[in-house]
Structure 1
């Protein structure tokens, strides 16, 4: 009986959260996201800042408020820039930016931090940081701690962006992680601008 209860408790823990950017402020949903993606998606993201992307399309499809043309769930989990105008970071080319990740449940996989053009949902230039494998490996976590550079690291704003990210909402810094065994994608976005060099 006790082992069954422990198994159920561990499954409940797995259903809650896995990872997100805790610093700087990441995109979070509000009225614009509700209007574009529906109440179900927003409720899931608010309830669990680490909700994985694969679970969102099913929620959205059942919600009459979901507007696929306005809500790209594979870009910042559909969270709209309009809800995050107060959180836009201002950086300079070559500036070092400190990022902290809250990893609540690890799943071994790959991860990267990149600058994404929000109009096309494409990565601009090479990844700023990349972990091709071994990111958030649960075998390193339980009873130990993950390598510090997976949860507390710095990136450098490229000097090659030109004017691509000069306007708020045009670009995000995206932390992207795919847990291979879990088959789940986690992502968080930071809105920012950078003046042309």
Structure 2
């Protein structure tokens, strides 16, 4: 019986998730994402909300509902503010924000957390808020249950000066970005927020 279960467990592991912000509430797919990115992209993200970006451009290009002017798959995996308007966080300059990430399949690489202007897809503020230049989500640490706690539960500080940006809901996101170098896969998850 065990020999029959092991192949099933291995199959489930390859088909399941990789990584996603679990708190605060990240952007999720919905009708606004379907209208911008097409049903194929949203169906793929809905099946695995923590999967990588690679592969989504091909799905989008084949979907008549995809609107290149409205769907940037390399920003929050194309997920739209309209689907997350009820989950906008309010932060103050200098506030420390706790972020929790769920990692389920590791791919060692680099990661960062940044504030991104959603219109221009550019960083807001002086630099990323937090950077792991290498060694993020190392498989050896993960499977030995030794993943550093600061890779899945960390604080970022909202900069004092955001150049007048991030006062309007949907204008900015806190984006967690991770690139698994061996797997050559990109993972993104975004928190909508305003500064008040």
TM-score (norm. length: structure 1):
0.93
Q: Which residue of 1 aligns with 2:76?
A: 76
Q: Which residue of 2 aligns with 1:107?
A: 107
Q: Which residue of 2 aligns with 1:43?
A: 43
Separation of aligned partners in 2, 1:13 and 1:33: 27
Q: Which residue of 2 aligns with 1:174?
A: 175
Runs of at least 5 residues in structure 1 that lack an aligned partner in the other structure: none
Separation of aligned partners in 2, 1:122 and 1:78: 15
How many residues were matched structurally? 194
1:126-168 per-position Cα deviation (integer Å, ceiling 9, x unaligned): 1110000000000111132310000001011000114211111
Write out aligned runs for 1:31-180 (5 A).
31-124=31-124, 125-180=126-181
Cα RMSD, aligned residues only: 1.7
1:29-55 per-position Cα deviation (integer Å, ceiling 9, x unaligned): 111110111111111111111110012
Separation of aligned partners in 2, 1:55 and 1:137: 23
- Counterparts in 2 of 1:169 and 1:54: CA distance versus 1, 3 Å: same
1:9-39 per-position Cα deviation (integer Å, ceiling 9, x unaligned): 5354223210000000000111111011111
Runs of at least 5 residues in structure 2 that lack an aligned partner in the other structure: none
The DSSP-based 3-state class of the residue aligned with 1:178 is: strand
CA apart distance, 1:169: 0.7
The DSSP-based 3-state class of the residue aligned with 1:140 is: helix
Separation of aligned partners in 2, 1:97 and 1:113: 12
